Amino acid sequence: MMQESARETISNSSMSQNGMSTLSSSQLEAGSRDGRSSAGDMSSEVSTVELLHLQQQQALQAARQLLLQQPGSGLKSPKSRDKQRPLQVPVSVAMMSPQVITPQQMQQILQQQVLSPQQLQALLQQQQAVMLQQVRTLALTLNPSHLHTCPYEEQQQQQQQLAAQQLVFQQQLLQMQQLQQQQHLLNMQRQGLLSLPGPAPGQAALPGQTLPQPAGLSPAELQQFGSGTGGGGGGASPPISHHSIANGQSPALNHRRERERERERDSLHEECGGTHPLYGHGVCKWPGCENICEDFGQFLKHLNSEHALDDRSTAQCRVQMQVVQQLEIQLSKERERLQAMMAHLHMRPSEPKSSPKPLNLVSSVTMSKNLPSASPPNLPQTPTTPTAPITPMAAMPQVPSILGGANVPSMGAMRRRHSDKYSMPLSSEIAPNYEFYKNADVRPPFTYATLIRQAIMDSADMQLTLNEIYSWFTRTFAYFRRNAATWKNAVRHNLSLHKCFVRVENVKGAVWTVDEMEYQKRRSQKITGSPSLVKNLPSSLGYGSALNASLQAALAETSLPLLGTPGLMNSGSTGPMGGSCHGLLGGDPPPTMMHSAHDGFNGSLDHLDTNGHSSPGYSPPVHMPIYVKEEPLNMDEDDCPMSLVTTANHSPELDDDRELEEGNLSEDLE
């Protein structure tokens, strides 16, 4: 039920079947104009967030317990401003200046997957090094020579505490090393599984990518907790379980530890030189601090005073470590879930579908300009597995960025017009993702016009009845198996509205065809934004240089190999560059749609289009038994190269059967 509601929310469903007003995507986006609550927007992330929150609560409580366990050594009260100051360090900052990162930042990093495995590893190591260094710094601080004002008893107590803390940190070090090992395994797994659309190393976080912040361990929480007001939340929380994972070290682990020690020495050395991992850009990088220190000396002073080896600092370290560990676990779980999802959706290893051009995802993403720059141009594109699909996040056009968090924002996909302006033929776009769109309840990032055209072009005879178009929608996109009233209305609306769709009377009734010229006109209009070009189109023999010059670039992608998905490949491409006539000849056209002259038209087109690809969907008036719609495009008939070269081996009955199947399917789902 929970799933159902989330699904409903995500996919912009409605209850139109019952005659109730539909909840359109725009309504959702606008925050339910009709007063209907869009509650549940975040429902898709609830589980993840809650899990993370739970885990971090555990960490928090563990740290609290640690505090409670400490003998009343007198908590060093942090300055109140530290308690209250919110922590807001952009991830990008943290990445530019490698410092201790906050739990929030870690979450962001992990969730957004903006870090490469190497970067993640480096961050973990750095965190460890920083914490260790902090211990040493604190040890220096607690050196009797520095404790001028401390009474002897207090010194003793602090030294004992230091010893104890060092022990704790040794254990924590082991834990961190264990984490690193886990991370390493995760990295291996990740690299072997899929190529994440993360930025290349060194790239900062993506500003536009604003995933909702999980209910993590807020700085306020940390500070509050650190203040140790005993508020202890009372929970008898499970103790930190790092002991259990501290065993079983391998030689590799020891080696790694050696390297860590070296790194510590280096960092200590650096500190002497005036740098400190916890100090950068004049700001203390202690988690939750951000105290402004004008110079390094001031920073050291601040560090020793504010972040001394007290319960708070220790607890913060433990919390940080716990957070890291939990995030690791979370990452692992999420990754497993992702694998399961992908396996379920279409990346069945047995499927030969493995896209011959795995980069298509990239193209699709880059086309989607409103995709929150989730795809840096130089993002690593190492398709790993043959079946390595799209990570839904990236593939989801606006789902962005495509499933999950990106899923919800994908709702306005079509409305945002990525496809028409920058994208290419639908077939080349969805072909590699055919299975994905077919199974995933994700709105395709194409306009209705684009989809309708594709539906018609996909048909054997370049014409479809309205019902067949419906069926294509439901057959091709899982998304359109719901909200039938809404999108069917939209389909009809688009068919009527756009001149590029031509209604042709048929014996069966009316069928819809595509006036490819008109369609390209629209496209070129949008691509070039130059009306003059469009003006030239009809008169200047259409397929002349103007069209090609303007469209070739746009259509270049059309010529990409469109293999691998038969269902979408037959007609696939758009326009002169990729249009395909195969499968059009040699069939039995519907009685009223005989286009006897198509060969001649094709022949005459050869000099215009060396590819021999004309606009299969173009319907020369001569073939039009009835033009219901007035076509302003007064093409000279002789210039109409193409015909609705009807064919076919395509049996309407067969199609109808299929439609029936699909229809049933859609009906079931509607």
Partner DNA sequence: GTCCCAATAAACATCT
Partner DNA sequence: AAGATGTTTATTGGGA
Min separation Cβ 463 and DNA, Å? 11
Q: Does 12 bind DNA (CB under 7 A)?
A: yes
Shortest reach from residue 522's CB to DNA, in Å: 6
Residues 423-452: x/- map of binding to DNA (CB under 7 A)?
A: -----------------------xxxx---
Site for DNA in 320-339 (CB under 7 A): none
Which of 83, 318, 353, 417 touches DNA by CB under 7 A?
Answer: 417
Nearest to 361 by CA among 351, 347, 348: 347
Q: Report, in Å, the least distance between residue 658 CB and DNA.
A: 15
**Residue 122 and residue 108: Cα distance in Å, rounded?**
16
Among the listed ranges 10-18, 234-242, 294-302, 546-554, the one in contact with DNA (CB under 7 A) is: 10-18
Q: Does 465 participate in binding DNA (rule CB under 7 A)?
A: yes
Smallest distance from DNA to CB 421, Å: 7
Residue from 9, 11, 13, 24 binding DNA (CB under 7 A): 24
Q: How far is the CB of 420 from DNA (least distance, A)?
A: 4
Select 510 or 556, whichever has its Cβ closest to DNA.
510
DSSP secondary structure, 74-135, as one string? -PPPPPHHHHH------HHHHHHTT-PPPHHHHHHHHHHT-S-HHHHHHHHHHHHHHHHHHH
The binding track of 97-116 with respect to DNA, each residue x by CB under 7 A or -, is --------------------
Q: Which of 5, 26, 381, 664 binds DNA (CB under 7 A)?
A: 26
Nearer to DNA, 135 or 527 (CB): 527
The alpha helices in 378-465, defined as continuous H runs, are 392-395, 418-422, 426-430, 434-439, 448-458
Whole-number Å distance between alpha carbons of 539 and 196: 48
Q: Which stretch binds DNA (CB under 7 A): 2-10, 23-31, 97-105, 559-567?
A: 23-31
Q: By C-alpha distance, which of 186, 172, 173 is closest to 254?
A: 173
Tokens in use for 42?
Answer: 């975040």
Chosen residue from 11, 13, 27, 178 binding DNA by CB under 7 A:
27
Tell me the three state secondary structure of residue 250: coil
Rounded to whole angstroms, the Cα distance separating 24 from 31 reads 10
Q: Name residues whose C-beta falls within 8 Å of residue 312's C-beta, 6 or more positions apart in sequence.
A: 67, 75, 76, 78, 226, 227, 228
Nearest to DNA of 181, 525 (CB atom)? 525
CA dihedral 615, 620, 624, 627 (to 10 degrees): 90
Task: Return all residues near 573 (Cβ < 8 A) that are at least 6 apart.
Answer: 425, 427, 428, 555, 558, 559, 562, 579, 580, 613
CB 277 within 8 A of CB 122: no
Cβ neighbors of 161 (< 8 A, separation 6 or more) are: 73, 309
Nearer to DNA, 388 or 633 (CB): 633
Distance CA 437, CA 416 (A): 18
Q: Which of 391, 342, 395, 403 is nearest to 368 (CA)?
A: 395
Minimum CB separation of residue 500 from DNA in Å reads 10
Report the C-alpha gap between 261 and 266 in whole angstroms. Answer: 8
Closest CB to DNA among 51 and 466? 466
Contact between 23 and DNA by CB under 7 A: the answer reads: yes
Interaction with DNA in 612-651: which residues (CB under 7 A)? Answer: 628-629
Residues 222 and 225: their CA atoms lie apart, in Å, by 5
Contact status: 526 vs DNA (CB under 7 A): yes
Sign (positive or negative) of CA dihedral 493, 495, 499, 504 = negative
Which x/- pattern, by CB under 7 A, does the window 374-413 give for DNA?
Answer: --------------------------------------x-
Site map for DNA, 348-377, x if CB under 7 A? ---------------------xx-------
Q: Which of residues 598-617 bind DNA (CB under 7 A)?
A: none
Give me 116's structure tokens. 């490469």
In the list 25, 55, 125, 180, the residue contacting DNA (rule: CB under 7 A) is: 25
Minimum CB separation of residue 409 from DNA in Å reads: 10
Check residue 466 for interaction with DNA (CB under 7 A).
yes
For DNA, the closer CB: 26 or 244: 26
Which of these segments, 416-424, 454-462, 538-546, 649-657, binds DNA (CB under 7 A)? Answer: 416-424
Using the contact rule CB under 7 A, the part of the chain among 202-210, 229-237, 304-312, 459-467 near DNA is 459-467
488-517 residues near DNA, rule: CB under 7 A: 489-490, 492-497, 503, 509-510, 512
| Beta pairing partners, 513 | 502
> Residue 220: what are its φ and ψ, rounded to 5°?
-60, -40
Question: 137 and 315 in contact (C-beta within 8 Å)?
Answer: no
Q: Which of 11, 22, 65, 172 binds DNA (CB under 7 A)?
A: 22
**Residues whose CB is less than 8 angstroms from the CB of residue 627 and which lie 6 or more positions away in sequence, other chains included:** 502, 503, 621
Q: Which residues contact 121 (CB under 8 A, 6 or more apart)?
A: 180, 183, 184, 187
* CB 383 within 8 Å of CB 391: no
Count residues contacting DNA (CB under 7 A)? 50
Give the residue with the Cβ less far from DNA, 133 or 423.
423
Q: Is 33 in the site for DNA (CB under 7 A)?
A: yes
Binding stretches for DNA (CB under 7 A) = 12, 14, 16, 21-27, 29-30, 33, 369-370, 412, 414-417, 420, 446-449, 465-467, 470, 485-487, 489-490, 492-497, 503, 509-510, 512, 522, 525-526, 529, 628-629
